[in-house]
Amino acid sequence: MPKQKFALAVDLGATNIRVAVVNADGKILAHERAATPHEGKSSRVVVDRIIEMAKRVLEKNKTYGKIAGVGIASCGPLDYKKGGANPANLPFDFIPLIEPLKQAFHVPTVLHNDANAAALGEWRFGVGRGKQNIVYVTLSTGIGAGVIVDGHVLFGATGNAAEVGHMTVDTTYNFPCGCGRGVGHWEGYCSGKNMPKFFEHWKKRENKKIDFSARTTKHIFAAAKQKNPVALEFLDVIHRMNARAISNILVAYDPELITIGGSVAHHNGAVILAGIKKYTEHYLKVPPLHITKLGEDIALLGATAAILK
Ligand SMILES: [Zn+2]
């Protein structure tokens, strides 16, 4: 029998499910990916797919012996009391996760939202190693964060201690947020999904004529790369908002470093970091800012870290 310990790591996203066997060094030894079901008689189809995938991955890797546990990183919001997810971007009310996976594999099973899991991944396997206070920010379809403070994950009364995407970063445009609960929220301006909508609003308000497509966030960054003056001016507004949010994060959590992931950051890392550095307030000393090097595996690695302590 191998002496090494292995975890089964699950990353449940709105688009894809990934399941992997991972060792204590964060090495992904076997891995499967499938589309997240968006229809079915009940939400049970989601966890049934996870179980099927997990069984196949484990079958292929019998030599690894018994897994130490199942770590799950899931898109949120989560219901930690009931042990499952109420995902905003999936057509199911509640997806049970903990109980069905415990029944299938008879090992300890742990659930974290994907941003908390990513923070754990960076802390254990990335630039956060050896630190006690780090913040992971995801700039993706949405915006969120996971926070490690004084050597533990900051959780909050309902597990939503770092919903930083819904911090107010603007009182000029008062643009409504997709959450439906307010205006001026960071995610409403700077997320991959919302940036083009805010661009439309900004363009009309500022009376800008454009000669490029701003249909997607990618198009806007591409125009800025070509030194398009309107795109550059718009991104400067985005940079100020990103920096306002990072300034808030600094004074709230006093981290030793901030690490940023998510598709918007991965594709435009240098521009995003430069923009944040340009406008972040120096009330506290600004710690090192990084774009994570763990890429799309970060949540799987965090799910592993939750099991293999
Ligand atoms: Zn919001």
In three-state form (DSSP H/G/I as H, E/B as E, the rest C), the secondary structure along the chain is CCCCCEEEEEEECCCEEEEEEEECCCCEEEEEEEECCCCCCCCHHHHHHHHHHHHHHHHCCHHHCCCCEEEEEECCCEECCCCEECCCCCCCCCEECHHHHHHHHCCCEEEEEHHHHHHHHHHHHCCCCCCCCEEEEEECCCEEEEEEECCEECCCCCCCCCCHHHCECCCCCCCECCCCCCECEHHHHHCCCCHHHHHHHHHHHCCCCCCCCCCCHHHHHHHHHCCCHHHHHHHHHHHHHHHHHHHHHHHHHCCCEEEEECHHHHHCHHHHHHHHHHHCCCCCCCCCEEECCCHHHHHHHHHHHHHCC
Distance from residue 257's CA to the centre of ligand 1 (Å): 25
Residue 1 scores a pLDDT above 60 = no
Neighbours of ion ligand 1 (CB under 5 A): 166, 177, 179, 185
Q: Does 236 fall in a domain?
A: yes
Q: Does 1 fall in a domain?
A: no
Residues 167, 240 share a domain: yes
Split at pLDDT 50, 70, 90, the class of 2 is very low
pLDDT in tens, 136-189: 999 998 999 999 999 999 999 888 889 999 999 999 999 999 888 899 999 999
Residues 101, 193 share a domain: no
Residue 29 scores a pLDDT above 50 = yes
DSSP state, 153? E
Distance from residue 208's CA to the centre of ligand 1 (Å): 26
3-state secondary structure of 78: strand
Residues 150, 243 share a domain: yes
Residues 286, 194 share a domain: yes
Exposed/middle/buried for residue 196 (C-beta within 10 Å: 0-12, 13-18, 19+): middle
- CATH of residue 219: 3.30.420.40
What range defines the domain where residue 110 resides? 6-120+297-307
Q: Does 116 fall in a domain?
A: yes
Residue 34 scores a pLDDT above 70 = yes
Residue 134 scores a pLDDT above 80 = yes
Whole-number Å distance between alpha carbons of 186 and 198: 11
Residues 69, 171 share a domain: no
Distance from residue 39's CA to the centre of ligand 1 (Å): 27
Residue 249 scores a pLDDT above 80 = yes
Distance from residue 163's CA to the centre of ligand 1 (Å): 9
Residues 191, 90 share a domain: no
Q: Does 125 fall in a domain?
A: no
- As for how many domains the chain has, the answer is 2
Report, as an integer, the average pLDDT of 267-286.
96
- Both tokens assigned to 87: 């995902």
Residues 271, 160 share a domain: yes
Residues 265, 172 share a domain: yes
Q: Does 74 fall in a domain?
A: yes
Residues 148, 272 share a domain: yes
User: Given this model, what pLDDT does residue 158 score?
Assistant: 85
Distance from residue 171's CA to the centre of ligand 1 (Å): 14
Report, as an integer, the average pLDDT of 187-211.
97
Range scoring the smallest mean pLDDT among 62-71, 135-144, 243-252, 254-263: 62-71
Distance from residue 177's CA to the centre of ligand 1 (Å): 5
pLDDT in tens, 97-128: 999 999 999 999 999 999 999 999 999 999 99
pLDDT over 90 for what percent of the chain?
Answer: 87
Residue 132 scores a pLDDT above 50 = yes
Q: Does 241 fall in a domain?
A: yes
Split at pLDDT 50, 70, 90, the class of 254 is very high
Residues 199, 279 share a domain: yes
Q: Does 99 fall in a domain?
A: yes
Distance from residue 182's CA to the centre of ligand 1 (Å): 6
Residues 271, 169 share a domain: yes
Distance from residue 188's CA to the centre of ligand 1 (Å): 6
Please state the pTM of the whole predicted model. 0.93
Distance from residue 186's CA to the centre of ligand 1 (Å): 7
Residues 168, 261 share a domain: yes
Distance from residue 298's CA to the centre of ligand 1 (Å): 24
Q: Chain-wide mean pLDDT for the chain?
A: 94
Q: Does 302 fall in a domain?
A: yes
pLDDT in tens, 51-109: 999 999 998 877 666 899 999 999 988 999 999 999 877 889 899 999 999 999 999 99
Distance from residue 231's CA to the centre of ligand 1 (Å): 24
